[in-house]
Amino acid sequence: KKLGLGSSAAALVASLGADFVKRGKALDDPDVRTQIFYRAREAHAAVQGGGSGVDLAASTYGGVLRYTLLAGKAWVTSMDLPIALVWRAYFSGSSARTSELRAQVTAFRDRDRAAYDRVMAKLGGASETAAAKLLDGSAGGFVDAARAFAEGLEQLGEESDAPIVPLAFRRLAVVAAAQNAAFFPSGAGGGDVGVYLGTAPPSDEFEARATQLGMHDLDLHLDLIGLRSEPEEAATTKESN
């Protein structure tokens, strides 16, 4: 099943990176990465009918990113996670199609622009607060902002009649909130991957509830490098292993 980790974005970025390497370009050159990111974003948007491009930025730059999109222009800034922050990722067992969710949200925008703008302002405000808390190194403040963002996602789903936050995610969010943590869908939502954020690891109660709801803990780690090339010998060894 599709996990929803941005594999199509990663494949596109990797393909463009390979083309640049063939032409003698260095992938650690900031200008080269910028060119790859914008080419990937243009191609991905044409296929998906839009999209933020944040998955392309993650594939290109790696690490923790503040991603700002305004009037079609994207700004990507590297940031650090507070030492006290704990994150986990879970696969819900069901896959979601971003294009379908986007279409429902777009229809909501077209029929009630004022309501749409109110929800998006709530989501934007939570995102700005989260970024500010990261700059301050406040793990607790970042988690609080993530919880507010999750509430905004749920409101967006209700008003657009889109299953952005499925019932299982809502139930786990309640358990997480009782422990001063947050749980919400990643990306466009609708299924796929959920993210736990807290200042302590998930409790036994949370883990048991997640298992009961069909969630699968994913053994993920944060890649700090992003797009890079490997010597052919190393790549061959990995494939044979």
Query: 161 vs 92, 164, 169, CA distance in Å?
Result: 20, 9, 16
Average of per-residue pLDDT across 165-194: 88
Percent of the chain with pLDDT strictly greater than 90: 63
Average of per-residue pLDDT across 130-152: 95
Specify the pLDDT at position 230.
Answer: 81
Go through the chain and tell me how many residues it has: 241
Q: How far apart are CA 191 and CA 193, in angstroms?
A: 6
Q: What is the band of 160 on the pLDDT scale with cuts at 50, 70, 90?
A: confident
Q: How far apart are CA 97 and CA 153, in angstroms?
A: 16
pTM: 0.86
At 67, list the tokens.
Answer: 């991603």
DSSP calls for 134-153:
HHHT-HHHHHHHHHHHHHHH
Residue 189 has pLDDT above 60, yes or no: yes
| 86-137 confidence digits (pLDDT tens) | 999 999 877 767 777 788 888 889 898 999 899 999 999 999 999 999 999 9
Q: How far apart are CA 8 and CA 237, in angstroms?
A: 24
Instruction: Decide: 192 and 186 in contact? Cβ < 8 Å.
Output: yes
Element (H, E) at 166: none
Supply the angle between the helices 139-160 and 113-136 in degrees, to the nearest 10.
170
At 227, list the tokens.
Answer: 């797009």
Q: Which residue has the higher pLDDT, 239 or 205?
A: 205
Q: How far apart are CA 45 and CA 51, in angstroms?
A: 6
52-56's contacts with Cβ under 8 Å and 24+ in sequence apart are: 55/6, 55/9, 55/10, 55/187, 56/6, 56/9, 56/12, 56/13
